[in-house]
């Protein structure tokens, strides 16, 4: 066969393949509801919002403000948001999704940079990768109980995200799923999670505490690729999801304790005033290292305190190395990291102690 004949047959084969693919695709339709023109498709008696094509959102990307997704399109119940359904709709601030929706496609809200509220219906069982990528104004999200997989980059670059509820039953947290969520302060990982992907918490610079199940025998190994910030404390919780059963360490900087030799410190009778302005070897204030759990000097030069929580009552179990009875250790706590100050746990009523989740240890030195 000649080269020309070969080229002709290859062209025919490609044309047949393309024709076959097009035949399998569901044709997009449009319908105007409350003055908004919607693109959708119908298959097996159910409607999906959007065309599913890159660059072809379900509505005009110039729409602004609040938007309610219709529960019925083309006379069929809306059960899904297609891939790219609201891609680049950067002026939308709120999207109401009908309770009939069970699936949110990949890149569904990609770069919806003004979006501040998008409640996910309880019936949703699937959320595609990068679904909320770049939703830079979204402050919180509650993932429904039926979702078993937090897909790759689902909330990447959601810079305003502070509160996330991962459902009991979720089995995996995908690669870079929360990367660059710089305002995320604390996150609880349910006991059902079996895998955390690489870079899941990359550049989450504000993350101070990650709560993981006590069933994880080696949480550091489970999170070895997650790229947690160095100052993030890994705290294990018991089966109730409230009290910590595994001990966590709170570094007391060696350089801070070394200040006891200063005459001014001895006169003040406390290390706290002298250390308030002290700078650690890592360039940060010593007290910041103390609270955040950083290693200000060297790991083998740190004192650590072991804190346990039993029946809602936290207490300092031991210190390493033991500095002797002359030192006084004061356990302080917060109910929420956003609380203004740290409370002395010795003065907290027993009925309220169980509500505290964050702790630090203060060390008083002799003159």
Query: Do residues 332 and 359 touch, judged by C-beta distance below 8 A?
Result: yes
Alpha-carbon Rg of the chain, whole angstroms? Answer: 27
Query: Do residues 304 and 249 touch, judged by C-beta distance below 8 A?
Result: yes
- Angle at the Cα of 289 (from 156 to 221), degrees rounded to 5? 55
When mean pLDDT is compared across 12-21, 219-228, 268-277, the lowest value belongs to 12-21
pLDDT digits (tens, 9 = 90+) for 119-141: 999 999 999 999 999 999 999 99
How many beta carbons lie within 10 A of that of residue 146, not counting itself?
Answer: 15
Residue 174 has pLDDT above 70, yes or no: yes
| Residue 259 per-residue DSSP state | G
Residue 36 has pLDDT above 70, yes or no: yes
Predicted local confidence at residue 240, as pLDDT: 54
Confidence of residue 249 (pLDDT cuts 50, 70, 90): very low
Residue 20 has pLDDT above 80, yes or no: no
On average, the pLDDT of the chain sits at 79
What is the average pLDDT across 326-355? 82
Range(s) of the chain covered by CATH 3.80.10.10: 25-237
pLDDT digits (tens, 9 = 90+) for 148-170: 999 999 999 999 999 899 998 99
- The CATH H-level (homologous superfamily) assignment of domain 25-237 is Ribonuclease Inhibitor (3.80.10.10)
Task: List the alpha helices (DSSP H) in the chain.
Answer: 3-24, 219-222, 254-258, 263-268, 271-275, 286-292, 350-353
Can the peptide bond before residue 21 be classed as cis, meaning omega within 30 degrees of 0? no
Residue 244 has pLDDT above 50, yes or no: no
Q: How far apart are alpha carbons 82 and 99 in whole angstroms?
A: 16
């Amino acid at each position: 066969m000649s080269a020309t004949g070969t080229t002709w047959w290859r062209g025919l084969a490609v044309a047949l393949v393309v024709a076959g693919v097009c035949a399998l695709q569901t044709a997009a339709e449009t319908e105007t509801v409350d003055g908004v023109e919607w693109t959708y498709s119908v298959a097996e008696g159910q409607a999906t919002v959007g065309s599913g094509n890159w660059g072809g959102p379900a509505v005009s990307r110039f729409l602004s403000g609040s938007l309610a997704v219709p529960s019925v399109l083309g006379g069929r119940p809306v059960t899904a948001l297609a891939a790219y359904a609201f891609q680049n709709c950067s002026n939308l601030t709120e999207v109401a999704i009908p309770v009939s929706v069970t699936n949110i496609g990949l890149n569904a809200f990609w770069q919806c940079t003004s979006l501040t509220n998008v409640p996910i219906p309880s019936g949703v069982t699937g959320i595609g990768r990068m679904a909320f990528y770049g939703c830079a104004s979204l402050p919180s999200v509650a993932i429904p109980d039926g979702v078993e997989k937090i897909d790759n980059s689902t909330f990447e670059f959601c810079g305003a995200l502070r509160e996330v509820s991962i459902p009991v039953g979720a089995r995996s947290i995908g690669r870079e799923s929360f990367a660059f969520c710089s305002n995320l302060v604390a996150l609880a990982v349910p006991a059902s999670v079996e895998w955390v992907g690489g870079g899941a918490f990359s550049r989450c610079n504000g993350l101070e505490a990650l709560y993981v199940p006590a069933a994880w025998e080696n949480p550091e190994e489970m999170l070895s690729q997650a790229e947690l910030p160095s100052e993030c404390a890994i705290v294990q919780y018991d089966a109730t999801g409230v009290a910590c059963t595994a001990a966590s360490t709170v570094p007391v900087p060696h350089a801070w304790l070394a200040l006891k030799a200063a005459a001014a410190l001895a006169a003040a009778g406390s290390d706290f005033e002298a250390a308030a302005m002290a700078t650690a070897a890592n360039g940060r204030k010593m007290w910041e290292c103390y609270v955040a759990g950083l290693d200000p000097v060297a790991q083998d030069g740190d004192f650590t305190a072991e804190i346990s929580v039993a029946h809602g009552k936290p207490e300092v179990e031991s210190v390493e190395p033991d500095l002797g009875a002359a030192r006084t250790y004061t356990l302080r706590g917060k109910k929420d990291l956003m609380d203004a100050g740290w409370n002395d746990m010795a003065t907290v009523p027993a009925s309220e102690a169980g509500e505290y989740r964050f702790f630090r240890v203060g060390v008083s030195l002799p003159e």
